[in-house]
Structure 1
Amino acid sequence: MVHRQGPLSRSELTRRTGFNRSTVGALVSALAEKRLVRESEPAGAGRVGRPSPIVQANPNIAVIAVNPDIDALTVGVVGLGGRVHTRVRRETQGVPSLDDAVQLSCDIVADLDGVLAGLEPVLGVGIALPGLVNASAGRVLVAPHLGWRDADLTGPFGGALGLPAVAANDAALGALAESTFGAAVGVADAVYLNGSASGIGGGIIAGGAQLGGSRGYAGELGHTLVRAGGSPCHCGRSGCLDAEVRLERLLDAAGLESGGIEALEGVLSAGPGPAVRAEAERQLDLLAVALVNFVNIFDPELIVLGGFLGSLFDFDGQRLTDQVGTGSLAGGVELRRAALGPELLLVGAAELAFRPLLASPS
């Protein structure tokens, strides 16, 4: 509770759990002994009556989060409560191989000695990968833009960093992060769509649970057809959302060769020229086609847009909202930009790595 919902008083924990006060006190004491939580006096503790101590997750209990992409690799150190202590993004010379990504991760972690020294022992590594990932086996089936196929993923990263490693699809972890700490907290039915240099993926929250599918590969929403006879897609078809709505097309229109989402943000917020505006509007219109399909299929209460899709939404969200509202059968869905920004996938990867601890703190 305190990891996902923030600091809570002992009395509030008693109310929410239904346990008695002595049980909550014993649990808090046991967790505090293991340094998993901290207690503090509430504000205004000098008033009459016995104040209920505030319990919060210890953010110095941390994991390492890794997000490889086709143009860069990002590493973060994330503590309990979703606290991102640091984030380092390093651009790569070309698309990195799996070995390249592992070595670069080690190099970045070595440079973070100063940050890691102030934390508790790091518990593990979470990997957010743009591709089909068998999370239970720790293997990537295919990461098409990276060119990684049928390879052990967690073994190389975990072995090189000396920590237990877990991995999952990046967009699925983005959905997990936003539903736990971000824009979709408390929403039982939501669709999350992420756009990165590698393409577009998604995650679906249905009835409060993440939709995984029979093999864990659900959420490949980027392969929804949005333009018949359109651009060829790496999946072998043409006109997929992933092929038509692309970060590099927007950067090309702006005359930029690198910089990623941060560079695009600067262009769109500074008043883009005609070429960028035309490409952004084209992509928004095609994105609307996909979102209408998702509304009709999943009937979500909320659609959350992350990565460069969030940048497009900030650029002209009304255009997108209007088209989705009028095009879908039921209408009435809310669109929001992801709340966690560039830390989103790191928080999702960390949440995956924290699962064993949360399931069994002892």
Structure 2
Amino acid sequence: MTDATRAFDGVHRRNLSKVLRLVHADGALPRSRITEATGLNRSTVASLVGELVDLQLVVERPPDPTRRVGRPSPIVDVDLRTVVVAVNPEVDAVTFGVVALGGRVVHRERVEMDHIVSPEETAELVNATIGRWAEGELAGCRVVAIGLAVPGIVRADDGLVRWAPHLEWSQAPLRALVEEATDLPASVGNDASLGALAEHLFGAGRGVDDIVYLNGGASGIGGGIIIGGASVGGAGGYAGEFGQNRPGIGSLEDRRAGDGVLEDEVSRARLLEAVGLAKADEPTLAGALAASPRPEVAEELARQRRILATALGNAINVLNPSLVILGGFLATIASSDQAELERAVAAQTVPTIFEGTRIVVARLGEDRLLIGAGELALARLLDDPESVLSTPP
């Protein structure tokens, strides 16, 4: 291959990626908008779109009949037949999803567990689920990769789960286990960091460059940080472990866990106990808390809200985000009295730093971790759309 050929191939791959990423991020677009956004000429865009159609990555539809000004332009959208499988193992359940381009969860399933799954069992469950879905949810689809959102510290370069305390995993080679079980490429990341990515791309943080995201799940509290529009991972990729910080607790009466960390005090298990549930998914827990007339439920929500406010104030003082997003049971705590939470946070931050900061709940709901895991799994495809040609059927 000559240098000129290599250069052409490199430019061609980048242009294919540019067009696919645009449709992935923005949804259905007229081809004229793609031309404008990419700076490429019309014939080049038409050719690139045609290639992406042949690769089953986008589809083209006739122009919008309501558009009467200018030359009609075909509509380009993602092809829902090319998908990834997203997985979120937790202490009480393993949630699976089929995620298409555009961050679209086209199917999800929560499998309740009566024990904590091991890494090996997780890999077996992934393979069994894909096999079970083959003639149903995945019929007519091409699965190109698997993404896993794990509540623990994950080494990004090889998918090694260094430590997931609530799952009792240590040094677990999850990516290798899943790839061996399924014969599909896999990627593994921290669940909260992936939730932050999903909300930044498709949810409450869309278009916002400086975000602090905290996620509350069955395994505790994790977080993700977006600064200047880029994810902040830290030296080892482990940044965002807000749940392991020692919480500031103003009143001794609010302390429940001795010298515990934040996730010992602001706790999903304590909320479940307050409403008398052994386990529940997010909507069920939120509904039970909202419907309960018992004063001790309101008191527990208020206690956790006060401690959460201090943690948020510390994060805002250090990172100066324009947006704080709360997901999972933290969104439920915030929603129980949003105004009071904001007052408590404001009282514990530097006024000029808190000025203009918004605190919101995650917009993607239960799908946020699946969308984040899906984004991780789609990374290679988005960088090099022709990589699907080497994907096993």
Q: Which TM-score tier does this pair reach, normalised by the shorter chain?
A: over 0.9
Aligned match for 2:149, one of 113, 124, 128? 128
Change (3 A) 1:241 1:46: closer
In the other structure, the counterpart of 1:115 is 137
**Helix, strand or coil for the counterpart of 2:144?**
coil
In the other structure, the counterpart of 1:343 is 367
CA shift for structure 1 position 109: 2.8
Please give the alpha-carbon distance, in whole angstroms, between the structure 1 residues aligned to 2:282 and 2:269. 10
Q: Is structure 2 residue 182 aligned with structure 1 residue 151? A: no
CA shift for structure 1 position 231: 5.2
Deviations 1:49-89 (A, max 9, x none): 53011111112210000000011100111111111111110
- Equivalent AA in structure 2 for residue 347 of structure 1: I
Aligned match for 1:293, one of 314, 317, 320? 314
**Helix, strand or coil for the counterpart of 2:205?**
coil
Whether the 8 Å CA contact 1:38–1:57 is kept in 2: the answer is: yes
Q: Is structure 2 residue 362 aligned with structure 1 residue 311? A: no
**Helix, strand or coil for the counterpart of 1:86?**
strand
Whether the 8 Å CA contact 2:212–2:223 is kept in 1: the answer is: yes
Whether the 8 Å CA contact 1:184–1:190 is kept in 2: the answer is: yes
**Helix, strand or coil for the counterpart of 2:298?**
helix
In the other structure, the counterpart of 1:19 is 40
Of all paired residues, the percent bearing the same amino acid is: 46
Please give the alpha-carbon distance, in whole angstroms, between the structure 2 residues aligned to 1:283 and 1:212. 27
**Helix, strand or coil for the counterpart of 1:303?**
strand
- Equivalent AA in structure 2 for residue 360 of structure 1: D
Q: Is structure 2 residue 282 aligned with structure 1 residue 257? A: no
Deviations 1:309-341 (A, max 9, x none): 111122211111111123210223101110111
CA shift for structure 1 position 227: 3.9
Please give the alpha-carbon distance, in whole angstroms, between the structure 1 residues aligned to 2:38 and 2:293. 52
Please give the alpha-carbon distance, in whole angstroms, between the structure 1 residues aligned to 2:302 and 2:190. 28
Deviations 1:162-207 (A, max 9, x none): 2111100000000110001100011010001000000000000001
Which contiguous aligned blocks of 4+ residues in structure 1 show a shift greater than 3 angstroms?
Answer: 45-49, 227-233
CA shift for structure 1 position 40: 1.0
Alignment of 1:1-362 (within 5 A): 1-44=22-65, 47=68, 49-113=70-134, 114-119=136-141, 121-227=142-248, 230=255, 238-329=259-350, 330-332=353-355, 333-362=357-386
CA shift for structure 1 position 232: 5.1
- Equivalent AA in structure 1 for residue 380 of structure 2: P
Please give the alpha-carbon distance, in whole angstroms, between the structure 1 residues aligned to 2:369 and 2:378. 14
Whether the 8 Å CA contact 2:86–2:96 is kept in 1: the answer is: yes
- Equivalent AA in structure 2 for residue 184 of structure 1: G
CA shift for structure 1 position 272: 4.0
- Equivalent AA in structure 1 for residue 369 of structure 2: L
Change (3 A) 1:48 1:150: closer
Give the number of aligned pairs: 357
Please give the alpha-carbon distance, in whole angstroms, between the structure 1 residues aligned to 2:67 and 2:170. 62
**Helix, strand or coil for the counterpart of 1:300?**
coil
**Helix, strand or coil for the counterpart of 2:235?**
coil
- Equivalent AA in structure 1 for residue 224 of structure 2: G
Please give the alpha-carbon distance, in whole angstroms, between the structure 1 residues aligned to 2:38 and 2:84. 27
Please give the alpha-carbon distance, in whole angstroms, between the structure 1 residues aligned to 2:72 and 2:227. 39
CA shift for structure 1 position 107: 3.3
CA shift for structure 1 position 118: 2.8
Please give the alpha-carbon distance, in whole angstroms, between the structure 2 residues aligned to 1:101 and 1:273. 38
Unaligned runs of 5+ residues in structure 1 are none
Please give the alpha-carbon distance, in whole angstroms, between the structure 2 residues aligned to 1:46 and 1:111. 44
Moved more, 173-182 or 312-321: 312-321
Unaligned runs of 5+ residues in structure 2 are 1-21, 387-393
CA shift for structure 1 position 360: 0.6
- Equivalent AA in structure 2 for residue 343 of structure 1: D
- Equivalent AA in structure 1 for residue 335 of structure 2: D
CA shift for structure 1 position 45: 5.6
Please give the alpha-carbon distance, in whole angstroms, between the structure 1 residues aligned to 2:204 and 2:69. 38
**Helix, strand or coil for the counterpart of 1:327?**
coil
**Helix, strand or coil for the counterpart of 2:188?**
strand
Q: Highest CA radius of gyration, 1 or 2?
A: 2
Please give the alpha-carbon distance, in whole angstroms, between the structure 2 residues aligned to 1:191 and 1:272. 33
Please give the alpha-carbon distance, in whole angstroms, between the structure 2 residues aligned to 1:148 and 1:33. 42
